[in-house]
Amino acid sequence: MPAALLALAIGAFGIGTTEFVIMGLLPEVATDFGVSIPSAGLLISGYALGVVVGAPLLTAIGSRISRKTVLIALMGVFIVGNLISALAPTYGVLMTGRIVAALAHGAFFGVGSVVAASLVPKAKQASAIALMFTGLTVANVLGVPGGTALGQAFGWRSTFWAVTALGVIGLLGIVFLVPRQDTAEGPGLRVELAVFKNLQVWLALAMTALGFAGVFASFTYIAPMMTEVAGFSSGAVTWLLVLFGGGLVVGNLLGGKAADRSLMPSLYVILALLAAVLVVFVFTAHAKVPAAITIAIFGAAGFATVAPLQKRVMDKAAGAPALASAANIAAFNLGNAVGAYLGGLTITRGLGYTAPNWVGAALAVAGLLVALLSGALDYRRRTATTPVLTTV
């Protein structure tokens, strides 16, 4: 794999760290600014909103600019956002910094996926995308726990300074390692928008939203599930999350390799596996060892979907994949929000902390059904030998 993928992975590592590390620093942030924990939690929602808005917006703005230039600009936006966060004198300014950093998130992964795929032969494109996303998964294993420990020891601002430094390293890597694309300009906004006339693009986005809604319906409530149901101490949750993160790394790489061999069959198997693991989790969550094992498998199944889903939407938007690719990152985050909301409903209605797993399984099955429909449409198109004639 080209060295340029390392630069993209470093950028992904920084972005993944800044997205999730705030979860471990909410008490420190809340105390510093004199706000409640729920109010500090809105920093997570604000970031997600920034991703959903920024992914298509910034990609559209850069649609006729060299993709390398777009990536450099996006890393600049990311660095500025984290600088604002590190220096924030008030809660409002911190929220602004979070949103500014989030604006770069979706567009970076969207454009970065296109660039990563362009660096390798077609047979290795899904693996290249997965390698870039490895930065995001490793952020959950190393960046988030490390950033949390740093913030707790030296103040939460030190974490944002560290993430800013990661952004600078990623920026330099892109400048010196990522080659300029063969075409100086993208296909243009009109062409990028035209791909959304394709039903298969929308089905791919639906697969992404439903599949990741299934993941976050359960993952959002993993801490109370492990402490209240499995019987782990609150201190053990950090190591369980590291275990989950390890599963993410393995699943991401295996999913990319499987998609290179056979994309749609891989998606069928992975989404079915995700649904099955979540059903099993309802029962294994009641004992420590089975729960820990299931968490690792859950992480692997959940993130094994990422590269295949990203490759699917890029394939169906061939010729102008950047905006559709960024929209798919927005779909991931929309799925995160919807899944967390639906999983939370089951808890507020008194169904218990394992009930979100049932919701997640149902959402994964819905994603599988959309995938089967999409595959059936592909098969119908391939096997059609004569046009369908209609008479009046």
Q: How far apart are CA 34 and CA 47, in angstroms?
A: 20
Regions of the chain with pLDDT less than 50: 182-184, 386, 389-392
pLDDT for 392 equals 42
Instruction: Tell which residue, 313, 76, 321, 62, has the closest CA to residue 184.
Output: 62
pLDDT for 59 equals 79
Show Cβ contacts of residue 86 under 8 Å, excluding neighbours closer than 6 positions. Answer: 97, 157, 160, 161, 164
pLDDT for 184 equals 46
Q: How far apart are CA 172 and CA 324, in angstroms?
A: 27
Token reading at 97: 């910094």
Show Cβ contacts of residue 255 under 8 Å, excluding neighbours closer than 6 positions. Answer: 126, 130, 266, 270, 303, 304, 305, 306, 307, 308
pLDDT for 31 equals 87
Show Cβ contacts of residue 358 under 8 Å, excluding neighbours closer than 6 positions. Answer: 278, 279, 282, 346
For the whole model, what pTM was predicted?
0.77
Q: Cα(first)–Cα(last) distance of the chain, in Å? A: 57
SS3 384: coil
Q: How far apart are CA 34 and CA 166, in angstroms?
A: 29
> Over the stretch 214-244, which tens digit does the pLDDT of each residue have?
998 888 788 788 888 999 887 787 788 788 8
Hey, what domains does the chain have and what are their CATH numbers?
1-185 (1.20.1250.20), 187-386 (1.20.1250.20)
